[in-house]
């Protein structure tokens, strides 16, 4: 069986789904623009913030270093904690969920690929306390991941954890910290050098949401026993498939063209609906990639715009029972992307029983594998009948190779779509604004933050009548 993921866009097209879909003529008319978008993305390969396009090719040495560190960590530690947020956490979490046991942390040590994994991507005051309740500092390694080296959430976690480690372990504490950060920018690299922490670098041209296939994601994956070489090879395979500017041979380019056309038709939401628990967090990872990359208010030539498409995370079949009603009968403002798994890693037969109740008895002798696919097809049909634009990405199975392909596929779709929208796909000024404002509120006294604090005072005073 081929391990290649496949994109089926029939249900995006008017020929299939009716007039609410995309007419073939609209797609054909876009071909020159698609070729231009492809050329623009290729021209940027490896340049500025497109270093992520080099990752499938330039990490031979780093992969070996990660594997060596992972082997040591597996031997020395019972728990591995990722401290990071946004692009520094969503990828590791998505890959862990996809490629390891669904209850990985609860498995006995001999059945796990490595230490228990915790990904702490928030600063809810209860969260750190909860973590401390379930780990033993003596046998825990903390991977502090921040590209900027100064993100308040991550660095506050660093302060809390290092304080606790020092108290618990004395001089030994430094061996429990692993740093993943920029080699040249930010404060964390300076701290790492001063303290002598083992450190991995996030390449300059790799932004947070494009960083899963560099040490940001590969370390946690390798520590838990995932085949990181197969993941990177999967990304390379997808990159090779997408070298052509023929949209009917390049799945990411075709998808970008259709998403762009769908947006023009008013589909300002992108629903990601994996039919597999293992892919549930892939929808979270995609949400950041799509939202932060495409949500921009100025074009590359300086014209105001409000570009973007709101990503929505769902899970099949669970969310059939919460959101599907809206998707079939609500506004025509969505594209639904199914992630379908051809061969699950387990088979769950449904035993016979309740023979006197035909509506239940018919399930006996079938399997959950059949039922989940039948439910997916049922949803697909309901959406077809309601003339909703849908597409399906099929993974022959969920393995390191298909996950590498899928991650890189979405990164390329995002880059091409950004080029079609003529926006800067790789910056995040809206996120930076909130980071500066939060530091200002916390009382940080740099010139920028003091000015921000003053600026924030200019908001209209809240009226009491609007607060109940």
- Residues of this chain that bind ligand PA5 (CB under 6 A): 85-88, 146-148, 151, 154, 207-209, 292, 428, 431
Q: Any idea what DSSP says for residue 330?
A: S
Assess whether 292 carries a catalytic annotation. yes
State the nearest-atom distance from the C-beta of 378 to ligand PA5, in Å. 36
Listed residue (6, 4, 11) closest to 394, CA to CA: 6
**Residue placing its CB nearer to ligand PA5 in the complex, 86 or 217:** 86
**Residue placing its CB nearer to ligand PA5 in the complex, 215 or 401:** 215
Distance (Å, whole) CA 92 – CA 218 = 8
Distance (Å, whole) CA 433 – CA 296 = 13
**Residue placing its CB nearer to ligand PA5 in the complex, 255 or 292:** 292
Residue 244 CB-half CA count within 13 A: 10
Listed residue (280, 270, 284, 389) closest to 328, CA to CA: 389
**Residue placing its CB nearer to ligand PA5 in the complex, 153 or 255:** 153
Listed residue (155, 162, 108) closest to 140, CA to CA: 162
State the nearest-atom distance from the C-beta of 210 to ligand PA5, in Å. 8
Distance (Å, whole) CA 168 – CA 142 = 14
**Residue placing its CB nearer to ligand PA5 in the complex, 30 or 85:** 85
State the nearest-atom distance from the C-beta of 414 to ligand PA5, in Å. 11
Assess whether 380 carries a catalytic annotation. no
Output the CA–CA distances (angstroms, integers) from residue 441 to 28, 186, 216, 243, in the order listed: 51, 21, 29, 47
Distance (Å, whole) CA 10 – CA 137 = 53
State the nearest-atom distance from the C-beta of 293 to ligand PA5, in Å. 8
Q: Of 111, 321, 457, 463, which one is the catalytic site residue?
A: 321
State the nearest-atom distance from the C-beta of 125 to ligand PA5, in Å. 20
Which residues, 6+ apart, have CB-to-CB distance to 235 below 8 Å? 55, 56, 213, 404, 405, 407, 408
Q: Of 36, 166, 236, 435, which one is the catalytic site residue?
A: 435
State the nearest-atom distance from the C-beta of 288 to ligand PA5, in Å. 6
**Residue placing its CB nearer to ligand PA5 in the complex, 114 or 203:** 203
Q: Of 292, 340, 411, 452, which one is the catalytic site residue?
A: 292
Assess whether 33 carries a catalytic annotation. no
Beta carbons of 21 and 334 less than 8 angstroms apart: no
Just list the catalytic residues. 292, 321, 435
């Amino acid at each position: 069986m081929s391990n290649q993921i496949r994109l089926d866009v029939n249900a995006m097209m008017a020929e299939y789904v009716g007039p609410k879909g995309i007419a073939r003529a609209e797609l054909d008319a876009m071909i020159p623009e698609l070729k231009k978008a492809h050329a623009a993305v290729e021209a940027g390969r490896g340049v500025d913030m497109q270093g992520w396009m080099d990752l499938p090719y330039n990490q031979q040495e780093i992969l070996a270093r990660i594997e060596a560190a992972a082997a040591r960590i597996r031997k020395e530690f019972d728990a591995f904690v990722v401290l990071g947020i946004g692009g520094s956490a969503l990828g590791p979490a998505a890959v862990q969920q996809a490629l390891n046991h669904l209850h990985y942390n609860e498995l006995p040590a001999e059945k796990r690929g490595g230490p228990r994994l915790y990904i702490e991507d928030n600063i809810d005051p209860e969260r750190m306390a909860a973590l401390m309740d379930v780990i033993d500092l003596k046998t825990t390694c903390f991977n502090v991941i921040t590209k900027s080296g100064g993100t308040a959430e991550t660095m506050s976690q660093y302060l809390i954890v290092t304080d606790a480690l020092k108290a618990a372990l004395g001089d030994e504490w430094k061996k429990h910290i692993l740093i993943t950060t920029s080699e040249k920018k930010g404060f964390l690299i300076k701290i790492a050098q001063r303290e002598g922490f083992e450190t991995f670098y996030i390449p300059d041209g790799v932004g947070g949401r494009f960083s899963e296939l560099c040490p940001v994601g590969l370390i946690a994956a390798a520590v838990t026993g995932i085949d990181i070489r197969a993941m990177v090879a999967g990304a390379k395979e997808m990159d090779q498939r997408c070298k052509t500017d023929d949209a009917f041979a390049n799945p990411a380019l075709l998808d970008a063209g259709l998403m762009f056309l769908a947006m023009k038709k008013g589909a300002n939401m992108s629903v990601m609906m994996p039919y597999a628990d293992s892919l549930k967090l892939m929808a979270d990872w995609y949400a950041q990639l799509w939202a932060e990359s495409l949500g921009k208010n100025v074009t590359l030539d300086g014209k105001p715009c409000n570009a973007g498409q709101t990503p929505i995370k769902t899970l099949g079949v669970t969310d059939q029972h919460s959101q599907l009603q809206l998707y079939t009968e609500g506004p025509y403002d969505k594209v639904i992307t199914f992630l379908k798994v051809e061969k699950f890693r387990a088979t769950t037969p449904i035993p016979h029983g309740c023979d006197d109740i035909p509506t239940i008895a018919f399930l006996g002798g079938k399997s959950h594998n059949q039922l989940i696919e039948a439910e997916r097809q049922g949803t697909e049909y309901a959406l077809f009948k309601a003339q909703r634009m849908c597409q399906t990405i099929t993974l022959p199975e969920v393995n390191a190779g298909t996950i590498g392909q899928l991650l890189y596929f979405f990164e390329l779709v995002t880059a091409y779509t950004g080029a079609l929208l003529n926006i800067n796909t790789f910056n995040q000024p809206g996120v930076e604004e909130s980071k500066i404002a939060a530091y200002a509120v916390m009382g940080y006294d740099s010139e920028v933050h003091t000015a921000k604090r003053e600026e924030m005072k200019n908001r209209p005073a809240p009226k009491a009548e609007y607060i109940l």
